[in-house]
Amino acid sequence: MLKEFEELREDEIDLMLSVPILVSVLIAGADGNIDQKEKKEAILLAHTKQQHVTKQLAGYYQLVGQNFEEKLLTCIAKTSDDLEIRNGDIIQELRKLNLILPKLDKHFAIKFYDSIEDWAKRIAEASGGILGYMSVTYEEAKLLTLKMIRSPQ
């Protein structure tokens, strides 16, 4: 277990570890379709973030990366096909972070929040667009800022 999670309950730890999956499904599915590029980007992020983040987040992403693809596909399969229901369920889960982040070391919480915002942006940009333009759909852009999670700053 991460030392940053010592004050958290088991269900809070589980949520913290599922945040990248939830954000991936929320952003990728914002337009009603989770495509292969978005899935591949989420899986790639789960691996690259293990090496390309601050030392404080590396342990977190080590845990997140374990069986990530399987967990992502399971989450996609379990969520509703109805866009409003799926988004509502995920947003409700992500709002729980507003009670968890204040329990964490402030520096860790800030880095975590920034990293998750970056994750959302990278998933939104994964589908491409025309020559890199218009790569983020309107639906993705509305969710991209993750307004349901208050910044710990």
Q: How far apart are CA 104 and CA 122, in angstroms?
A: 25
Residue spans per domain, the chain? 8-144
Tens-place pLDDT, residues 29-41: 998 889 999 999 9
CA–CA dist 129, 133 (Å, integer) = 6
- Digit-by-digit pLDDT tens for the chain (153 residues) are 799 999 999 999 999 999 999 999 999 999 888 999 999 999 999 999 998 888 889 999 999 999 999 999 999 999 999 999 999 999 999 999 999 999 999 999 999 999 999 999 999 998 765 444 456 777 888 888 899 999 998
